[in-house]
Structure 1
Amino acid sequence: MKIVYIEDNEELRETIGCLMEGPGRSITCCANAEEALQLDAQAPFDLVVTDVSLPGQSGTELAQSLLKQAPLRWIVLCTGYDLGHYPAQWGPNVRTLLKPFEIEELEALLGQIEAQRPNATLQ
């Protein structure tokens, strides 16, 4: 599974990026949404994990842009604020992860997505 992790905090980006690594996972880390969009245009990622508060284009704007191209795209929005049910309205494969989160929470979410992914295709 090809995963892109977008986080503007360099220390968090490196730490979480390393912690997400595992068998069958390829992790690419980006500091901003614009960089992630460029890389995704070359070879789409299976999963986009993004901070909501980013310089330039926000994580929510990034998610909405990607979902316009592929409504079944898997997206995880990491935020310090409870977004309620709002992101779920964007598509069936949009999840939120409330900061600060434990690595076990992230790993459980990645496991759920990996388990469900064979049933979903990018459209």
Structure 2
Amino acid sequence: MRVLLVEDDPSLQRFVAMALEDEDVRLQGCTSVDEALLSLATQAFDLVISDLMLPGRHGNELLATLSERPELRGQAMLAVFSAGLNGQVRQQLEGLGVSRFLVKPCSLADLRACVQDARTLRDTASPVAPAEDSARATASVHQTAVEEFFGGNAGLYQAFLARCRAQFPQDIARGRDAARLGQHQPLRHLAHSLKSVLQTLGYPDAAALARELEDLAQQAGERQDVDSTAAIQDRWLRLEAELSRLI
């Protein structure tokens, strides 16, 4: 069993690790949504257990991304930790694919039952397509980019995409700081780089957004134009959302 634990509380991390050490489980831990998305982009899991209150991005953003991009989730069962949820919130989370709720403080029995449910689901699920088929399907969506920038080599495209996905969380952190502090020059350099990367990956709309941000940051730096702050913040937030969807 391959289990991804998304939890920033060290004591709960230790509890889960100890509880599952005799359960034939390979447990991987991470502490943020960005780390979780990176893990999901590079390997498959049978069960994802996530807290909702996480540093940076809320756990709901992770669940929403997995709902929008089922290839990241794969066949994984989704479970969440919570300190208590009302019926409406539970219904919303169920709509995002959550099938188990582990109420804090979680009991050993509940945690092991959750893992057993995921194991049963894995053992009875229909076989999934090979990774090579998934890669070819993804490349076909951006066939123009594959042909134009990678000489028709879909494998090379996939390798470049994987490296970009590993880099995007760092780009997001840098961009957030630069936008928040009004550092126009670093933001312009970042937008310039992302413009080329996104165009190469076959996302022209996102690349155009990066180009707009680059131009705005350059103008603000040259003119010391404080009136452009709102426009820069708007473009950055939209670009950050695009990058988050690609992780």
Q: Please say whether Structure 1 and Structure 2 have the same fold, judged by a TM-score greater than 0.5.
A: yes
Which residue number in structure 1 is paired with residue 91 of structure 2? 85
Greater percentage in helix: 2
Kindly indicate whether the alpha-carbon contact (under 8 Å) linking 1:66 and 1:73 is maintained by their aligned counterparts in 2. Answer: no
The SS at the match of 1:81 is coil
Task: Please list every run of 5 or more consecutive structure 2 residues that lacks an aligned counterpart in the other structure.
Answer: 130-247
Letter in 1 for 2:105: P
The CA deviation at 1:80 is 0.5
Tell me which of 104, 120, 124 is aligned to 1:119.
Answer: 124
Kindly indicate whether the alpha-carbon contact (under 8 Å) linking 1:3 and 1:46 is maintained by their aligned counterparts in 2. Answer: yes
Which residue number in structure 1 is paired with residue 206 of structure 2? none
Q: Which structure has the larger Rg?
A: 2
Cα distance 1:81–1:73, how it changes in 2: closer, same or farther (>3 A)? Answer: same
Tell me which of 95, 99, 110 is aligned to 1:94.
Answer: 99
The CA deviation at 1:25 is 1.6
Greater percentage in strand: 1
Kindly indicate whether the alpha-carbon contact (under 8 Å) linking 1:3 and 1:27 is maintained by their aligned counterparts in 2. Answer: yes
Q: Deviations over 1:50-72 (max 9, x none)?
A: 11110112222111212322275
CA distance in 2, matches of 1:20, 1:59: 22
Kindly indicate whether the alpha-carbon contact (under 8 Å) linking 1:4 and 1:48 is maintained by their aligned counterparts in 2. Answer: yes
CA distance in 2, matches of 1:9, 1:68: 27
The CA deviation at 1:23 is 4.2
Which residue number in structure 2 is paired with residue 49 of structure 1? 49
Which residue number in structure 2 is paired with residue 75 of structure 1? 78
Which residue number in structure 2 is paired with residue 20 of structure 1? 20
Cα distance 1:21–1:100, how it changes in 2: closer, same or farther (>3 A)? Answer: same
Structure number with the bigger relative contact order (C-alpha 8 A, sep ≥ 6) is 1
Which residue number in structure 2 is paired with residue 8 of structure 1? 8
TM-score by length of 1: 0.84
Residue identity (%): 25
Kindly indicate whether the alpha-carbon contact (under 8 Å) linking 2:4 and 2:28 is maintained by their aligned counterparts in 1. Answer: yes
Aligned residues, how many? Answer: 122
RMSD value over aligned CA atoms? 2.1
TM-score by length of 2: 0.45
Report the more deviating stretch, 104-113 or 18-27: 18-27
